[in-house]
Amino acid sequence: MSQSKPAGVLDARILGPACRGAFVKLDPRILSKNPVMFVVAVVSALCTVLFLRDLVTGAPGLGFSLQIVLWLWFTLLFANFAESVAEGRGKAQAASLRQTRSDTSAKRLDAADSRQWHEVAGESLKVGDIVLVEAGDIIPSDGEVIEGVASVNEAAITGESAPVIRESGGDRSAVTGGTQVLSDWIKVRISAAAGSTFIDRMISLVEGAERQKTPNEIALNVLLAGLTLIFVLATVTIPAFAAYAGGAVPVIVLVALFVTLIPTTIGALVSAIGIAGMDRLVRFNVLAMSGRAVEAAGDVDTLLLDKTGTITLGNRQATEFRPVPGVTDRDLADAAQLASLADETPEGRSIVVLAKENYGIRARDMQGLGATFVPFTAQSRMSGVDFDGTSIRKGSVDAVLRHVQAADSADGNVATKAREIRAIADEVAKAGGTPLVVVRNGQLLGVIYLKDIVKGGIRERFAELRQMGIRTVMITGDNPMTAAAIAAEAGVDDFLAEATPEHKLDLIRAEQAKGKLVAMCGDGTNDAPALAQADVGVAMNTGTVAAREAGNMVDLDSDPTKLIEIVGIGKQLLMTRGALTTFSISNDVAKYFAIVPAMFTGLYPSLQALNVMGLATPQSAILSAIIFNALIIVVLIPLALKGVAYKAIGANALLRRNLLIYGLGGLVVPFVGIKLIDVTVTALGLA
């Protein structure tokens, strides 16, 4: 599914609630969560009290004081507005999700008699209840299919109109409440209680109501609080210096100095940046269970990717029949087609088509022959057909050779043919293909060459990841030679062949023991341990409940390649926070040249040399600086929500880029902005 377009800042659905939210967030209990803005609120309240006192006593300079007080409150409101806009976009998405969660009824099956059911309210279902869902019914809650197979419309969750198949006993057994069965029927065991379903969690997360601060965000808040404390101490000492020089500095001016010099810009936007990062994932149809997972994606060092469906197209195609000496191509193709007539996998269908197109072999009426088809199993690793005294099998090299050696073979040269088969299989594997061996009545006929196509452009994407310092590891069940060939073609850094769930888990732990953060994706129950162990575990929505519960992200589109985009979004979040922090600190340095000369020029005329902006008067300088301090928050809201432009570059290049664009920009922009505001303020006679 393509990325959905977010609601803009000026969208009426966002603007109105965000304006109201800006005032609601003036609640001290909410402000206390942001130390910088809480301090701004305290000094704003103090200045308001002092202004009211001066108003009663008729003190001079009330117009200037009123403007300072108003812009202090505007600074606070703009900061709240930024966070409210970020939350508002999530709430708009949550509203659409709520439409999918209606008062659905359910056909709950009796525990005593599974053929009988009673209609009950969907909200009354408990974990472990079994419900019958037929064509046209809405699935009442999250669960796992235990019987039947059905076509399900999941557009309410994924936005994808194409229906998907859900069936029992596989890795596509999980179903989500609010989706609709289009055909056939299924029995579903409920796995989530009312109020804790997948949609409920999505709503709470996209609204940001339960968004917990991440360790990086907490660390940044501690840094900002420390800087604020330093400026508090510095501001407190200024009156003493002024008194020593035989003058005094008004409290309102001290407050203006303090608010413009503390890191209000990043303090106002840090929460919005975090919320927007999760929002970007949701728009890519990825649900992050926590902000920590998003940030971890940005810090990932090692990326584990399944070969099939991620690096390759996933549908292996038969491209060639390679017989052993003494067997013709046509004879091998005929046996391979017979063994594949009941094989509904893409590989099986491609074998039938290849035999038909290359040798004109048409499908036979196997029903008339009384044929018995043997399905593939994980234990046998073979499939085939038995008919009229003939037994044909196709499967992996080792499985077929064991089958031949265990049988009472009619072929007296099994060892010789086995060597020939292995030689052909090695050639196929070295070329990056998958060999399937065909045997008929104990006679080894040859090898089917299955080719798995590497996705176009994937090599370039891995090169970008390598440039970012991320190591890519391909996970596959193929033999080492096949894995090595595909890994070389795809351009991954390493591979794990013949991978089992235990091997995946061991690999993740080994990487983490080196101090690295690991990301991986999976969809099956056997992937659950590795998903739980990984720092970023992306579970496919089509997968099992166990996989979805183990991961800390769920991809609603079930697209394994999206793991690369997830890493990019995580890095964009960290880059945005770092860029705006750099801009904010540089910004404060520039504002120093506007405020300090204005404050002390009367006491120390030599400080006029620092008035490099040529500001008109001390009052206009102070007012211009505090107006700029408030307006820059509004100007940066779109950047905080959209994120800085993401480029796959190394850490050193990223640091240079941040310093050049946002560090230098943070110095230059205030000089230009404050000067323009000063000209305007002076022209209007406001100071």
Task: Assess contact for 355 and 361: CB atoms under 8 A.
Answer: yes
- Number of residues assigned to the chain: 687
Q: Is the pLDDT of residue 210 over 70?
A: no
Could you give the CA distance from residue 172 to residue 571 in angstroms, rounded to a whole number? 31
Q: Which amino acid is at 574?
A: L
Q: What is the DSSP letter of 661?
A: I
Among 494, 558, 498, 564, which Cα is nearest to 524's?
558
Torsion of the alpha carbons at 78, 84, 89 and 90, rounded to the nearest 10: 150
pTM above 0.75, yes or no: no
Q: Are 437 and 421 in contact (CB under 8 A)?
A: yes
- Confidence bin at 245 (pLDDT 50/70/90): low
- DSSP annotation of 538: E
Per the prediction, the chain carries an average pLDDT of 82
Beta strand pairing call for 443-451 and 433-440: antiparallel
Its sign, for the CA torsion 553, 559, 563, 568, is negative
Residue ranges of E strands in 477-517:
494-496
Q: Are 425 and 322 in contact (CB under 8 A)?
A: no
Query: Residue 40 and residue 306: Cα distance in Å, rounded?
Result: 50
- Average pLDDT, integer, range 128-142: 89
* Interatomic CA distance for residues 152 and 228, integer angstroms: 55
Judged by DSSP in three states, 159 sits in: coil
Q: Are 440 and 391 in contact (CB under 8 A)?
A: yes
Question: Among 299, 293, 298, 295, which Cα is nearest to 532's?
Answer: 293
Q: Per residue in 14-33, pLDDT tens?
A: 778 888 989 999 999 888 88
Q: Which residues of 329-350 are buried (b: 16+ CB within 10 A; e: fewer)?
A: eebbbbbbbbbbbbbeeebbbb
For the chain, the straight-line distance linking the first and the last C-alpha, in angstroms and rounded, comes to 55
Contacts of residue 186, Cβ cutoff 8 Å, sequence gap at least 6 = 132, 133, 145, 147, 148, 149, 150, 166, 167, 168, 175
- The β-bridge partners of 175 are 143
- Whole-number pLDDT of residue 2: 43
β-sheet bridge partners, residue 391: 386
| Phi, psi at 25, each rounded to 5° | -75, 0
In single-letter form, the type of residue at position 370 comes to G
Report the distance separating Cα 480 and Cα 558, nearest Å.
27
- 472 forms beta bridges with 303
3-state SS, residue 275: helix
Whose CA is closest to 46, among 74, 16, 68, 15?
68
pLDDT per residue as tens digits for the range 67-112: 999 999 999 999 999 888 877 766 666 666 666 555 678 888 887 7
CA dist list (Å): 465 to 301, 564, 616 = 10, 8, 52
49: its two tokens: 């009290």
CB half-sphere exposure, 364, CA atoms < 13 A:
17
pLDDT tens string 315-367: 778 989 999 998 999 999 999 999 888 887 778 888 999 999 998 887 676 66
Tokens of 628: 């700029």
Q: Three-state SS for 163?
A: coil
Pairing of strands 164-167, 130-134: unpaired
Catalogue the active-site residues. 306
Contact 613, 593 (CB under 8 A): yes
Q: Mean per-residue pLDDT for 380-395?
A: 88
* Phi-psi domain of 169 (left: phi exceeds 0; alpha: psi -120 through 50; beta: other): left
Closest C-alpha among 124, 129, 285 to residue 202: 285
Sheet holding 302-306, edge to edge: 286-288, 553-555, 536-540, 518-522, 302-306, 471-475, 494-496
Please write the tens of the pLDDT for every residue from 247-265: 666 788 788 878 887 888 8
| C-alpha to C-alpha distance for 669 and 368, rounded to whole angstroms | 84
Q: Return d(Cα 106, Cα 103) in angstroms, integer.
A: 10
Element (H, E) at 539: strand 536-540
Instruction: Note the pLDDT of residue 69.
Output: 93
522: enclosing H helix or E strand: strand 518-522
* Mean pLDDT for the stretch of residues 593-597: 76
Q: What is the pLDDT of residues 442-500, one digit of tens each?
A: 889 999 998 877 887 888 888 888 887 889 999 887 778 888 888 888 899 999 988 88
**pLDDT score recorded for residue 1:** 41
For 385-394, what is the mean pLDDT?
Answer: 89
